[in-house]
Amino acid sequence: MKRYDHRRTKEIKSQLFKRERWNADTIMNLLHLLVEKEPSLDKTVVEVVDSGFLCRVIDSEQVTDHSLDVMRNYLRDSKLLLLPIFASEHWSLLAYLGEEKTWYHCDSMGEMHSERVNFILARLHLLGIFNGLDEEQKRVSFHTLLKNQEGRDECGTYLVMYAMAFIYNIRSFSSKEKFQSSLEGELSKIGEDKRHEFLQRLEVELSLIGHK
């Protein structure tokens, strides 16, 4: 998997508290950072899919055979896939729990991306992304976990917070039921007050990286 780009630390840190939507570079780097900084996590079990891949899928653009092969390998081998979605000037998170063949969608604006997600999954089927996988991986179930943001530009922060909840819970995965219960508990804690705490922790983390 790609790794966190330390050269972008100063730029990412400068974006944290701005009243503007985070760009794709910031989102992807922070997701890679979350995976890398989790000491108890086998880094091979979590993969972050580049947001540009899903943008091409959404826009029905040409997707290379290599990209499709990489995605198939992720679906077959990973315990957790994190797929950031950017559409209609908004970020949400699509996640795939490999061991239970379950898709999750977390959107801080309620159901804003619901139709997009259904379209993405239908397009992945048409592109043959599930070819060569077992029948269980083709018959995925789907859960939508919703949380509402208060402002206009906080969607990127919420996406990264949702991803952190998935990463935290995949460490001790024992069953689908326990995972869902624990995950929903973590997600229920996410709100505007927790968002500010999260940004402050990120600022400290990025400051430490910047001095290494």
- pLDDT tier at 2, thresholds 50, 70, 90: low
Predicted model pTM: 0.86
C-alpha to C-alpha distance for 8 and 11, rounded to whole angstroms: 5
Does the pLDDT of residue 93 top 90, yes or no?
yes
CATH of the domain at 60: 3.40.395.10
Task: Give the pLDDT mean for 190-194.
Answer: 81
Please give the residue range of the domain that contains residue 110.
6-210
The tens digit of pLDDT for each residue in 45-90 reads: 788 888 888 888 877 777 888 888 888 888 888 888 999 999 889 9
Q: CA nearest 147: which of 195, 107, 181?
A: 107
Domain membership of residue 105 (yes or no) is yes
Contact 148, 109 (CB under 8 A): yes
Contact 85, 93 (CB under 8 A): yes
Domain membership of residue 153 (yes or no) is yes
Domain membership of residue 12 (yes or no) is yes
Quote the number of domains for the chain.
1
Domain membership of residue 1 (yes or no) is no
Does the pLDDT of residue 179 top 90, yes or no?
no
Q: Is residue 173 classed as helix, strand or coil in its secondary structure? A: coil
Domain membership of residue 178 (yes or no) is yes
